[in-house]
Structure 1
Amino acid sequence: MENIQICEIKGGKNKDYPHILSRDGKYIFSCSDRLDAYHSGAKIFYVCKYLSRAFFTEVMGEEIYTKYNFHLDEWVFEYEEHEYIARKDDVLQVMYVMSERSIPPDWAWRRPIGNSNGYPIWNTQIDHPQLRLEKVRDLQLIFKKGPAFELLEYCSKALLELPEIMVPNAKALHTSLGGMPLTLYGKPRDVIIAQRTPLQNLMEEVKDKYRQILMAVKTKPFVLLAGISGIGKSSLVRTLAYKTCNEKELQYSDRPGNFELIKVKPDWYDSSELIGYTTQKGGMIRYNITAFIRFIIKAWRYKQVPFWLCLDEMNLARVEQYFAEFLSIIETRRFHEEQMYSDAFISREDILLYSNEDPSFWLNLGLENEVALQQQFLSLGITMPPNLIVMGTVNMDETTHSFSRKVLDRAMTIEMNKVDLNKGLGLPENDWEYPDVYISAEDLLGQPQDVNMVYNDNPDIGRKVIKELEEINEALINSPFMFAYRVRDEMLIYCTYNASLQPPNITSKKWLFTCLDEMIMMKILSRIEGNEKKCGSIINGLLEKIGTKFPESHKKLLQMQFRLNNNGYTSFWN
């Protein structure tokens, strides 16, 4: 096991020295003479009580030297275009922050460290193991999951096995950590053993909490999150990115690398803000890349990781105008020999033109050294990655636009209007952390399904779904709200995916009616809007057909009816 130590960032006149946190929170800079023996890859826990934060870091093996700044009359050092105050002749080590945690308000060291030098809790010549174990237990009250937690568990075991430590009647607990068999040792009411939920149960809890949105994404990776402003729609997307970011290279300290938030602007009248555009200067055609295309290219690099694109306040501009290409391309997805194909955002002809005209084209795309992706884009164009998920947050007020049926037919709509005003007033429950157990890509990314195969593989479910849909469509006859095969297919696929989550030999079909209730909201009611003449009889007919069999849809229809009676106009959107 590599060297592990603790450093304390203390307050005082110069609070951020001798351990300095970078402005973006990605690095900590430490004076080399303040550390115990270290080497590249060693792990260091930094505890900063005056900021109530703790950091789990890794030594990068990179040294920085200070220099004198005449304008500031200070010794400084530079890193990634930022300047920091330092001391004369200091040599600083760069630590990469792998995780960051809040320190509980009542937390304290059992025995103070006593200085700001490195305090080793494990190395090959460790002494006083009982004291080191106390520090490990203290840190376990801060780092309760993730890589830091796992390292502390191993460290605890190693210290407990040393002959000098006083642990009478030590008991062994056989468990698993990340699928790896592990034995932990402890003493009742003394040694802390974290009570871990078994992997399978934990995974089921996560799936159950996010089941509707996960199955909606698996059915169609384009979801609209509707709800009042400030309820946490974009936060939910970021949370899901954390819970699916199982690639270490993408686990940035400030955000998951599989997440991108793009704020929609009211003046987006075409797709150039997303797809990019060309300019011509000095006779050379140059393509101007966008954050959207960069994110798509990045998703192609990590095809086994779900990539979440959040279009914030999506309907500030008309979606069918600036998002027209995506709305068409998502319907062209097809699989052949386990490879997904689609129409291209940027055609192969344009890729060839841009790469021939502009010598820096591949460099601007970040692909100067990635020949395989260059060849793929030259052959097929930049197409939709199989792991791309687009989530649009939606507010409905006087500044936003309504959705056309073209958009709603291609999206899954989930309403978020339940508000708990007590939430977040106690200790913070920040879900923006990398979890112990990740939601796998297989749980989330579904291949475009052959609906005939879906129906024939589950004929009992298929017949029940079709029967309910026929009754609902009867209430929509001679209206613009009748639905056709796309809605039918997606309902069958959604219900089939949910069927795979049910216990074997289950006889109750309550889960199926829950799924149908959810899909009626997502795919049918979301399309209904208009005045009394257009919607009055439709809503009455649906209330009669649906009754209380689908409680959420029934409640929504009553809300829409109330709005129609009072305002003379109604819609699904609040």
Structure 2
Amino acid sequence: MELIDLELTFNEIKSSVNEIEFRDVQLSDDFKIEYERYISSNAANGYSEVKWTDFSTRIITSTGKSIFLTNYWFFIASKLAVYLEGLNAHKQVFKQIFDGENLQEIATSLRGGLTDEQTSLIQNFFTKSGYSLQSFEFFIKFVSDYGAWGGGKTIDRNDYYVSPLLQAGKLLAETQSAVAEIAKQFAENPVLRHSFLPTFVPVSNPLKVKVLPHIISESSRGKFVYNLIEFLIKEKIQKSIFECLIERDINLGNYNLEFNGYRLTTFFKVSNAPLEEEQLKRGDKIRFFEKPFTLNSKMYYLSNQWTDGTLSRLDIQSLIPIFNTLYENYEIVIENETYILKKLDHHVTLQVSKPFLLLAGISGTGKTRFVREQAKSTGSIDGTYCLTSVRPDWHEPSDLLGYVSRLGNKPQYVATNVLRFIVKAWREIIKKIEKDDNGHALDWRGRELDDIRPFWLCLDEMNLAPVEQYFADYLSVLETRCWNEPDKLQDSDLKYVYECEPLIKGEVFTSLDADISGEANNDSDKPSTQLAKDLGFDLTKPLDKDIWDYFLAHGISIPFNLIVAGTVNMDETTHGFSRKVIDRALSFDFGEFFPNNIDEFFDAKSEPKKLSFPLNSHAKLKQFQSIAADPDAAKTKAFFKAINEVLLGTPFELAFRAFNELCLSVISFAPKNSDELDAVFDDFLMCKVLPRIEGDEDKLTTRKGGALLQQLTETLSEALKTIWDSERIDLLRESKGSDDKVIKVRCRSKLKLEYMQSKLDSGFTSFWP
């Protein structure tokens, strides 16, 4: 047996601890049984009894004292147990070499440096025992260089392992030494460690409001209110609060702030001209800030007579509810006697699994409005929304992305609104362009993901023209998206890496500048410069110029924050979709997912959840660790294999792409239990599987000659048995005006299969209404 390199292992564990994502942890029943058995038989560290809750544990010692710990500690301990086994192997060798001697004196002596005699003794032992030279070197470091492996107390002591384990796990010794003890228990009992199969629970609901850093933080009440008004005026959002000003005394120019029963008297003194110091006094004290706010040629002097909790005429406890009601995107809070203004970011982290949506249904159901409202909820109509009406005569990608015209004296790239919108989305992402020593653009660095808004491109009446033709470039490039390629991410200091092949190559733009002889045109008014201006760039600004230079060198690819939503009417005036299109999109039968309820026309009881762009392109097994309902992806694999068993050998058979997108859906919605997991499976069937199925009885026959829809129904009735004959959670809508946001609906795939079977009885069936 060889010894391990403790220094290397120590550093690897420290590094891996940095990458561990904090989660609530549920312990399996098998582990609880094994741990109770271990405690009762060993009384390890005086532990005599253990009590469990969902996410925490109480350990009772033999003296009746209690240790309360989160179940996450068991997870950390399981990781540290491997390191402890290596430590114990080194210590065992130490005890064998110096058997019969005073181990404390020996350990202290070796820690100060080995004598030649000690080195010779250790080397002879390693040679006779068949250890390698490398193991000898590892051991020398163990006994003499404690800093290399996190050691503290000398290695002769029974508790020598506590310090290195706490350092490797980056834990506080004062509060978390129990982790080291549990790691020791894991190391001593392999059965205990092997039974440890925890379930990781997501940190929070995928739909959440994110709080951004503080805008104002001030301990003085008066200064906080002054800075607050100054901020509102600077941001040009003062209107709401100024509309609540009520004139109190026309002679003195005093105005109250009144709203919803709250009254703050003499909030402002208003004047058409600057006021002298004496005019701001009452008695011998100045009652207003001397620097006014100027609006519409009037000067507003804010009162400085603010209190907190005294119910006086100007109490900040009255201002807070007024402000928080008027400004839904901001919030005033008090923390540690400090007054804070925060901005609430209503962007969401519920990500669609694919950035290409097909919204199909009859005319007038609100498909285009749905896209518009999504854009408004996370951005603005002017900023993050683009509506493009598809024309029936579109047949090639240039209709969507633009083309080169060589009419006139110089070539010109004729841009489209879609291309301008794509560039706009990229400018939302990029904060810096990295260059080589010659100033050539190499790569881009993006802003924080939480600060990037989704950009919604709505292709209205998308199938008026053949989608496979005018949308061909997008459909192909869409499949080249890659998030966080391991080698590239590991070799950089980036938080994320996104790569995608270009929709338009850079040579298309640079070739515009070549003259008839093929030489570069150095004219400052060259075609590529004109195109940059047309796309919204100001090349006098360094970042704009850098981004444009990057596009010239590398082309323009699909920005990851771009969500394309095509509205679709399936009737005799439109084109159908091939499986190439359906396989690359999330297809929604709009009436099924977002039904028109006439009873709610004037007073809606539900609303669509806010959606954002995906942050994954290829599912990884480790991403399932945080999925409480399926932490090892076993249920997801079993479901996919069950439905594909029916489809094998038919034109509707599924492959890797479909399984990847099923996994991405599970990761995106993070179901917490079997019912929610089945709801994800149900929607996957509706978006990715059933839209591909169409034809007559001959086409809808399995490889064994059975009726495909009937066999699929039988398979799903078992695979989705928790929701098949009951209701399931609606993953894409929530209730309005109620604390309970959950909406329940019937199993969608069951209803759709019944509909498709009834159509097949007439000779031909399809998914679409």
TM-score, with structure 2 as normaliser: 0.47
Q: Is the 8 A contact 2:481 2:501 kept in 1?
A: yes
The one of 425, 445, 452 aligned to 2:614: 445
Q: Secondary structure at the match of 1:311?
A: strand
Measured at CA, do residues 328 and 168 of structure 1 come closer, stay the same or move farther in structure 2, by a change above 3 Å?
closer
The answer for the alignment partner of 1:561 in structure 2 is 757
For residues 18-49 of structure 1, give each alpha carbon's deviation from its aligned partner in whole angstroms, at most 9, with x where no partner exists: xxxxxxxxxxxxxxxxxxxxx9876664xxxx
1:412 matched to 2:586: yes
Does the CA-based 8 Å contact 2:480-2:500 persist in structure 1? yes
In 2, the alpha carbon distance for the partners of 1:40 and 1:413 equals 44
Alignment pair present for 1:229 and 2:356:
no
Q: In 2 relative to 1, CA 119–454 (structure 1 residues): closer, same or farther, beyond 3 Å?
A: closer
| Of 452, 457, 460, the match for 1:312 | 460
Tell me if 1:523 matches 2:701: no
Count of equivalent residues? 409
Q: Which residue of 1 aligns with 2:676?
A: 511
Could you report, residue by residue, the CA deviation over 1:147-195 in whole angstroms, capped at 9, with x for unpaired residues? xxxxxxxx9x9899589997699977988886755269xxxxxxxxxxx
1:571 aligns with 2:766: yes
Q: Secondary structure at the match of 1:517?
A: helix
Residue 422 in structure 1 maps to residue 599 in structure 2: yes
Structure 2 counterpart of 1:368: 538
The aligned runs of 1:151-190 (5 Å cut-off) are 161=306, 181-182=332-333
Contact conserved, 1:348 with 1:378, CA < 8 A, in 2?
A: yes
- Determine the structure 2 residue equivalent to 1:91: none
Question: Structure 1 residue 119: deviation in Å?
Answer: 6.8
| Structure 1 residue 308: Cα displacement | 0.6
Q: Is the 8 A contact 1:306 1:445 kept in 2?
A: no
Deviations 1:515-563 (A, max 9, x none): 0111011111010011121126111111111126342111100000111
Inter-partner Cα distance in structure 2 for 1:281 and 1:41: 46
Note if contact 1:344-1:382 (Cα within 8 Å) is conserved in structure 2: yes
After TM superposition, give the deviation of residue 451 of structure 1 in Å: 3.4
Structure 1 residues 345 and 128: alpha-carbon distance in aligned structure 2, compared to 1, 3 A threshold: closer
Instruction: Give the equivalent residue in structure 2 for 1:100.
Output: none
Query: How much has 1:478 moved relative to structure 2?
Result: 2.1
User: Which residue in the other structure is 1:505 paired with?
Assistant: none
Shift of 1:409: 0.6
Range with bigger deviation, 449-458 or 517-526: 449-458
The structural deviation recorded for 1:379 is: 1.9
Tell me the equivalent position of 1:133: 258
Matched letter for residue 225 of structure 1: L
Give distance in 1, aligned partners of 2:606 and 2:675.
Answer: 33
- Counterparts of 2:676 and 2:650, CA distance in 1: 30
CA distance in 1, matches of 2:589, 2:623: 27
User: Any conservation in 2 of the 1:3–1:42 contact (CA below 8 Å)?
Assistant: no
The corresponding residue for 1:552 is: 748
Secondary structure in structure 2 of the residue aligned to 1:543: helix
Conserved? CA contact 2:375–2:456, under 8 Å: yes
1:297 partner letter: V
Letter in 2 for 1:553: S
Q: Which has the larger radius of gyration?
A: 2
CA separation in 1, counterparts of 2:334 and 2:633? Answer: 48
1: CA distance, partners of 2:585 / 2:411: 35
CA distance in 2, matches of 1:535, 1:237: 34
Q: Residue type of the partner of 1:302?
A: E
Letter in 1 for 2:333: L
1:293 correspondence with 2:419? yes
Contact 1:316–1:400 (CA<8 Å) still a contact in 2? Answer: yes
Q: Offset of 1:232 from its aligned partner?
A: 1.0
Tell me which protein shows more helix as a share of its residues. Answer: 2
- Work out which of the residue numbers 657, 662, 676 in structure 2 matches 1:491: 662
One-letter amino acid matched to 2:633: G
Query: Residues 249 and 255 of structure 2 are in contact (CA less than 8 Å); yes or no, is this contact kept in structure 1?
Result: no
In structure 2, distance between residues paired with 1:397 and 1:471: 33
Whether the aligned pair in 2 keeps the contact of 1:269 and 1:317 (CA below 8 Å) is yes
Distance of 2:237 and 2:476 partners within structure 1? 49
**3-state DSSP of counterpart to 2:589:** strand
Are 1:383 and 2:541 counterparts? Answer: no
Q: Which amino acid aligns with 1:473?
A: N
Report how far residue 344 of structure 1 moved: 1.1
SS at match of 1:332: coil
Cα distance in 2 for partners of 1:406, 1:289 equals: 27
Give the equivalent residue in structure 2 for 1:543: 713
For residue 278 of structure 1, give the secondary structure of its aligned residue in structure 2: strand
Q: Distance in 2 between matches of 1:311 and 1:262?
A: 5
2:422 and 2:682 map into 1 onto residues whose CA distance is 33
Number of the residue aligned with 2:646: 475
In 2, the alpha carbon distance for the partners of 1:296 and 1:525 equals 31
Q: AA paired with 2:552? A: L
CA offset at residue 354 of structure 1?
2.6
- Assess, with a 3 A threshold, how the Cα gap between structure 1 residues 509 and 450 changes in structure 2: closer, same or farther: closer
Separation (CA, whole Å) in 1 of partners of 2:510 and 2:537: 14
Cα deviation digits, residues 124-168 of structure 1 (max 9, x gap)? x86152xx4159979xxxxxxxxxxxxxxxx9x989958999769
Match of residue 354 from structure 1: 512
Aligned 8 A contact 1:340 1:385 in 2: no
Task: Report the Cα offset of residue 262 of structure 1.
Answer: 0.7
Please show how residues 111-260 of structure 1 align to structure 2 within 5 Å. 127-129=254-256, 132-133=257-258, 161=306, 181-182=332-333, 214-215=350-351, 217=352, 219-245=353-379, 251=380, 255-260=381-386
C-alpha separation in 2, matches of 1:468 and 1:531: 26
For 1:298 and 1:122, locate their aligned partners in 2 and report how far apart those are by CA, in whole Å: 51
Report the Cα distance in structure 1 between the residues aligned to 2:758 and 2:662, rounded to whole angstroms.
Answer: 28
SS for the counterpart of 1:474 is: helix
Alpha-carbon shift at residue 399 of structure 1 (Å): 0.8
SS class of match (2:680): helix
Equivalent position of 2:570 in the other structure: 396
> Which of 465, 478, 484 lines up with 1:330 in the alignment?
478
| Structure 2 CA distance for partners of 1:169 and 1:278, relative to 1, 3 Å | closer
Q: 1:561 to 1:121 in 2, by over 3 A?
A: farther
| Secondary structure at the counterpart of residue 446 of structure 1 | coil
8 Å Cα contact 1:454-1:493 kept in structure 2: no
Asked if the contact 1:527/1:572 (under 8 Å) is kept, the reply is yes
Residue in 1 aligned with 2:199?
none
Q: Give the Cα–Cα distance (whole angstroms) in 1 for the partners of residues 423 and 556 of structure 2.
A: 8
The whole-number CA distance in structure 2 between the counterparts of 1:560 and 1:295 is 39
Is contact 2:501-2:557 (8 Å) kept? yes
Percent identity reads 32
Contact 1:481 1:528 in 2 (8 A): yes
Q: Give 1:558's aligned amino acid.
A: E
Structure 2 match to 1:52: none
The answer for unaligned runs of 5 or more in structure 2 is 1-224, 264-299, 336-341, 430-451, 490-495, 514-520, 702-706, 725-746
Is the partner of 1:133 in helix, strand or coil? strand
Residues 368 and 171 of structure 1, relative CA distance in 2, 3 Å threshold:
closer
TM-score computed with the length of structure 1 as normaliser: 0.62
Contact 1:265–1:317 under 8 Å retained in 2:
yes
- How many angstroms apart in 2 are the aligned matches of 1:365 and 1:373? 12
Q: Is the CA contact 2:388–2:460 (under 8 Å) kept in the aligned structure 1?
A: yes
Give the deviation of 1:3 after TM superposition: 12
Alpha carbons of 1:40 and 1:268: their partners in 2 closer, same or farther (altered >3 Å)? same
Deviation at 1:229, TM superposition (A): 1.4
Aligned-residue offset at 1:513: 0.7
Distance 1:282 1:169, change over 3 A: closer
Partner of 2:697: 532
Consecutive unaligned residues in structure 1, runs of 5 or more:
6-38, 46-55, 59-108, 139-154, 185-197, 246-250, 433-437, 503-507
- Taking only aligned residues, the RMSD between alpha carbons, in angstroms, comes to 4.4
Give 1:279 deviation, angstroms: 0.9
